[in-house]
Amino acid sequence: MRSVGVIRRDEKWVVQVNDDQQFDEREFAIESNAIAWAAGHRKRLGLPAEQAKQTHEGSMRC
Give a yes or no: residue 62 inside a domain.
no
Kindly report the three-state secondary structure assignment for every residue of 2-41.
CEEEEEEECCEEEEEEECCCCEEEEEECCHHHHHHHHHHH
**Using 50, 70 and 90 to split pLDDT, how confident is the model at 61?**
low
Total domains in the chain come to 1
56 found inside a domain? no
Read off the pTM. 0.76
Confirm whether 26 is domain-assigned.
yes
Q: Convert the pLDDT of each residue in 19-56 to its tens digit.
A: 989 999 999 999 999 999 999 999 999 998 765 444 43
Domain contains 24: yes
8 assigned to some structural domain: yes
**Has residue 13 been placed in a domain?**
yes
Note down the domain range covering 39. 3-48
In a domain, 11, yes or no: yes
